[in-house]
Chains A and B, each alone.
Chain A
Amino acid sequence: MSISGYIEQGFVGDEDVYLRIRRLEKRLEREKKARLAAEDILEHKSREIYAVNKQLHENARLLEETVINAKDGVMITDADLENGGPHIIYVNDAFTKITGYRSEEVIGKTPRILQGAETDSKTLEMMKERLKEGRSFQGELKNYSKNGRPYWLDISITPVRNEEGEITHFTAIERDITVRKMYESELQQSKKRADTASLAKSDFLATMSHELRTPMNGIIGLSELLLEAELGGEGHELAQTINGSAQNLLELINDILDFSKIEANEFSLEMHAFDVKELVKNSIGFLRHLAREKGLDFRVELDLDLPEQVFNDCLRIRQVLNNLVGNAIKFTDKGGISISIAPMPSKNPTHIQFTVSDTGIGIPDDKIGLIFNKFQTLEGRNFGGTGLGLAISKQLVDMMDGEIGVQSRLGEGTTFCFSVGAHLDELKNQERACLSSKGSLQDRRVENNEQIFKGLRILSADDHPTNLMMMSKILKKLGAAEVVEASQGLEAVEQYKTNGPFDCVVMDYHMPKMDGLEAARLIRIFEAAQGMEAVPIVAVTADAMRETQEKCLDAGMNDYLSKPIVRRRLVDVLLRHLPADVAEDAVLTRALEPAEAHDGQSLEAVIDLSHLRQFTDGDIEEEQAFFDIFLEQAVLGLEALEDHMSEEGAELWKKTAHKLKGAAANLGANTLSGLCFEAERRYDEPESDKKQLLAAIQAELVQVDQFMKALHA
């Protein structure tokens, strides 16, 4: 019973006491309620705290297990970077495995006990600097294990901060990268060795190529002279074969030289303005002939929007085009080749695109990705070649600010596309900068037989007698009044001093006793002392390296020619440096002459006049006479062919076709000659086929006749 209960039942009678007790009871009741409420809250809080604690424990357990069992070493230190610190407070098992130190051996010590003679002090300084700034550090470090074995670590150190943001600890995670380091070092050494070997190889190739070019000069030059000599039909053909083979070999050598120069980063472009249409015309004549010889259709499309001129390296573009078209012909037996050249985009083009499509054997899908790789020739495509052509093409196109690509279907054909920069802006700059007639001179192609150097006295120096003889012949053919020869540098200087004045000097680069450079220098000194005008001196060198060319210019020479000497290049270069009146005359001669390159009607001249003119020295009457003899022979030949189409006449058909082929080739009627070659090859085929061939030959002969008539009209 409660106190108030007693009171109510009359045990206590005082009203005041009763109220007092009621009050106390109520107060007690309130306190009890408050206590229960507090207990409830506390119990609830306890459960909450327990749950949170459990979660924390679980998290801590996971973290701890992770650290303990990690394969990477984990080390925790305090944050005392001074006073011999920091001090290690924890390491895991992996740390022991890497370093050989057990936990109790390192706790309280500084991590510096792990460092040694080859620990990089700069890395350590950087580490300390960063940690001092409160930043993390990552790097590679060479440390030493307990027994002194060096090992490499990839180490990452992170500062640990408390709630106030103060750094209290550092944790370091260390990975043993000793094996990786070893591989890296081996790899580096191998790469170094490979680079050295590759460089040596490139050097060797470059040197060899130079060395090879010099004798090639002799072979090509002399075979050219042979071709001009009065040889019998067979002799002429043999000389032509020598010349052709030598040209092929030179191309291969040039490929290798180009490639090794590109590899050695010694290659640079010679940029100038040129007419794309002209370039194409000049490039494809021979290729068209080759295609026709194989019985292939050959089409060229020039877009109407092609700019008049573009600015790039026309020789290199020609090289790429020749390579692609040459390949197309090589790998196509049926159908044909089509070439198209178009500006990209068509208005204000930035690039010119060349597309070469064939209907040839195609390239398998799994090889198409490899074809621009060096030394890659496709299996089953046993057609000779260095395997460098496409690799060089790709590198050249890259250098010419373009792209090259290929699409192919096996058995159906291949299309190569490449673009080169048009650089029309550059062109305008050039035009502005060069308003003189010099630029236009460079564009003019000068045919073999012009008497361009009429009356000139030229000094030619070369230690090689055949080269010297060849140069004299060429110069004389070009109209030079006198060519004074010198067999070495000093002699050239003496000749210049005593036998002068000369209109120009052609100087071999390499000569015994005194080389071309020294001779040129002495000539310049002599001229200066005498107050003479500087004579144009052109170096001739088998070494096409830019460095050599610069040396020539430094020695006071005006220009250089690389061997083998090509008549056209010789004329171009000499014209560039001869006094203006000589040059003007030459251009005038050129302009007066009707020429196949300017007819604009067809891309392929029916007759390549350069052949004919080697025999006629540009004399129109002589040309006509020559042609008349040819025509007479040809008509007789056609009659003979007609007579011997039957099987019994096969041998005679063959002989006649052979004879006609040679005559047409001498004239420069290459297509006709090609057709005759075809007739000769197919001498034992059925009469119906021969009829077709004969018809083609007759049609072509009509073309040749018309061409000559138009030329001499």
Chain B
Amino acid sequence: MKGIVFTELLEMVEARFGADMVDDVLDDCSFVHDGAYTRIGTYDHHELLTIVAALAKRTSVSVRDLVYTYGHHLFERFRVMMPHFFDQPQNAFEFLESVHNVVHVEVKKLYSDAQLPSLKVRDRSHRTLVLEYGSSCPFADFAHGLICGCIDFFDEDIAVSYEDQNTPGCFGRVFRLEKV
């Protein structure tokens, strides 16, 4: 997993819970590298789960909520860090539709070793968008957070419902977005 996901998480933790929380959580985790993350590095995705678990323990917020919140937060950060992805899409549907074919393609160009989840459009109408998420990592809640971050960014009234469709080796979730 790319280092930016870790550094952004720690930034968020610091912003919301203070720098000491970051120290404590990393101390709890006892990583070999002491949590010295750099955004250009690549790390095992289990470390992210370890960090979130430690944070949940210290903050008494559920892992799922934390992961969702981080997803929501990260979307805003993406917009700031990579504004060019926002040149074309005019609304949430358009942006989400471009993730698989545009955003992920660009990421692959820079980081050929990046292991990206898939987010494919299964169905699309004027009011509805059905997206299919799939990943070897259990980050469906993270994706949920990102999707909601996107909807909030475009300031639209869209209800999100979902259904998990896990298969061996793949964590899957079908998101159904309906304009209200």
Residues of A within 8 A of B (CB): 23, 26-27, 29-35, 37-38, 41-42, 45
Residues of A within 8 A of B38 (CB): 34-35, 37-38, 41
Name which residue of chain B comes closest to A41, CB basis. B40
Contact status B36-A33, CB under 8 Å:
yes
Contact status B40-A38, CB under 8 Å:
yes
Name which residue of chain B comes closest to A23, CB basis. B23
Can you give 25 A-B contacts (C-beta < 8 A)?
A23-B20, A26-B23, A27-B19, A27-B23, A29-B34, A30-B34, A30-B35, A30-B36, A33-B33, A33-B34, A33-B36, A34-B36, A34-B37, A35-B38, A37-B33, A37-B36, A37-B38, A37-B41, A38-B38, A38-B40, A38-B41, A41-B40, A41-B41, A42-B40, A45-B40
Residues of A within 8 A of B36 (CB): 30-34, 37
B137 within 8 A of A: no
Distance in angstroms from A51 CB to nearest chain B CB is: 15
B1 within 8 A of A: no
Bound state CA distance, A33 and B35, in angstroms? 9
Of residues 80 through 132 on chain B, the ones whose CB sits less than 8 Å from some CB of chain A are none
Bound state CA distance, A41 and B35, in angstroms? 16
Bound state CA distance, A29 and B23, in angstroms? 12
Of residues 10 through 60 on chain B, the ones whose CB sits less than 8 Å from some CB of chain A are 19-20, 23, 26, 33-41
Distance in angstroms from B5 CB to nearest chain A CB is: 15
Which of B34, B37, B38 is the most central at the interface, judged by chain A CB atoms within 10 Å of its CB? Answer: B38
Distance in angstroms from A236 CB to nearest chain B CB is: 108
If over half of A's interface residues share one DSSP class (helix, strand or loop), that class is named, otherwise mixed; here it is helix
Bound state CA distance, A578 and B129, in angstroms? 97
Name which residue of chain B comes closest to A20, CB basis. B20
Which of A32, A37, A45 is the most central at the interface, judged by chain B CB atoms within 10 Å of its CB? Answer: A37
Number of interface residues of B (CB under 8 A): 13
Name which residue of chain A comes closest to B109, CB basis. A163
Bound state CA distance, A543 and B175, in angstroms? 95
Bound state CA distance, A148 and B27, in angstroms? 84
Apart from A31-B36, A34-B38, A38-B38: 5 A-B pairs, beta carbons within 8 A: A27-B23, A32-B36, A37-B33, A41-B40, A41-B41
Name which residue of chain A comes closest to B20, CB basis. A23
Residues of B within 8 A of A41 (CB): 38, 40-41
Bound state CA distance, A23 and B39, in angstroms? 23
Distance in angstroms from A168 CB to nearest chain B CB is: 19
Residues of B within 8 A of A30 (CB): 26, 34-36
Name which residue of chain B comes closest to A35, CB basis. B38
Bound state CA distance, A31 and B37, in angstroms? 8
Name which residue of chain A comes closest to B39, CB basis. A38
Residues of B within 8 A of A27 (CB): 19, 23
Bound state CA distance, A23 and B37, in angstroms? 17
Residues of B within 8 A of A32 (CB): 36
Residues of A within 8 A of B37 (CB): 34
Which of A32, A34, A37 is the most central at the interface, judged by chain B CB atoms within 10 Å of its CB? Answer: A34
Residues of B within 8 A of A31 (CB): 36
Name which residue of chain A comes closest to B22, CB basis. A27
Residues of A within 8 A of B35 (CB): 30
Distance in angstroms from A22 CB to nearest chain B CB is: 10
Bound state CA distance, A37 and B37, in angstroms? 8
Distance in angstroms from B94 CB to nearest chain A CB is: 18
Residues of B within 8 A of A38 (CB): 38-41
Residues of A within 8 A of B39 (CB): 38
Bound state CA distance, A27 and B41, in angstroms? 19
Distance in angstroms from B54 CB to nearest chain A CB is: 15
